[in-house]
């Protein structure tokens, strides 16, 4: 399984101009293929008079879903270079739509490939990406007496604390890299004199 991937920081639009044609690249995070398709439909609706709405999206940390569309541009000159740019930048769970307003000058196949791929690359640079790393989710349970200090120590050592639940005992939900699980067990036993329990759970991705 992929240890980490990059995705777009948030939704946004970046505009470039090539030979009087306007290329508006809209980027957005997309957790599912349906989210990506809904975003594409929304962009089309926002620009009903544009000549083309070409798109590409990559879903899955391992890029298991990859789709691209040329929307009337010559085959392979728009969606594919957009997809290639996302893949080259290792961007996942993201969708890109490049809306073109034709400026009267034909660009040719090579010009289109450069324009569409370049629009995505420039938008990624302008709007920013974030790296997400695979974490092991776990729960640490400890008595009330030790809970406050333990929570502070966890945060101070860079462990991701997701939630703290107070009941008969205190349960702290955390995330940490798989490689750190065994060393964390030893640290926890030492920090709490063996009084805390550690229950590893599933996996998730979190911001680095």
Every domain of the chain and the residues it spans: 4-127, 132-207
- Looking at the domain that runs over 4-127, which CATH code has it been given? 3.30.230.30
Average pLDDT over residues 189-196: 91
Average pLDDT over residues 76-94: 95
Fold that domain 132-207 belongs to in CATH: Alpha-Beta Plaits (3.30.70)
pLDDT band (50, 70, 90) for residue 1 = low
Predicted structure pTM score = 0.72
Q: Which residues contact 113 (CB under 8 A, 6 or more apart)?
A: 76, 77, 78, 81
Return the ∠ at Cα 125 (arms to 131 and 5), rounded to 5°.
20
pLDDT band (50, 70, 90) for residue 103 = confident
């Amino acid at each position: 399984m992929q240890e980490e991937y990059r995705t777009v920081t948030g939704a946004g639009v970046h505009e470039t101009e090539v030979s009087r044609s306007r290329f508006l690249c809209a980027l957005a995070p997309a957790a599912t293929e349906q989210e990506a398709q809904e975003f594409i439909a929304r962009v089309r609706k926002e620009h009903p008079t544009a000549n083309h709405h070409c798109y590409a999206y990559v879903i899955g940390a391992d890029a298991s879903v990859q789709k691209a569309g040329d929307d009337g541009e010559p085959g392979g000159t728009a969606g594919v270079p957009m997809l290639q740019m996302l893949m080259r930048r290792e961007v996942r769970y993201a969708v890109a739509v490049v809306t073109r307003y034709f400026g009267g000058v034909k660009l040719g196949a090579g010009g289109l490939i450069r324009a569409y791929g370049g629009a995505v690359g420039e938008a990624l640079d302008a709007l920013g990406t974030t790296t997400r790393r695979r974490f092991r989710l776990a729960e640490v349970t400890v008595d009330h007496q030790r809970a406050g200090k333990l929570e502070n120590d966890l945060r101070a050592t860079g462990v991701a604390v997701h939630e703290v639940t107070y009941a008969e005992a205190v349960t702290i939900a955390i995330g940490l890299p798989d490689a750190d699980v065994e060393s964390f067990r030893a640290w926890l036993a030492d920090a709490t004199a063996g009084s805390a329990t550690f229950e590893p759970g599933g996996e998730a991705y979190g911001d680095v």
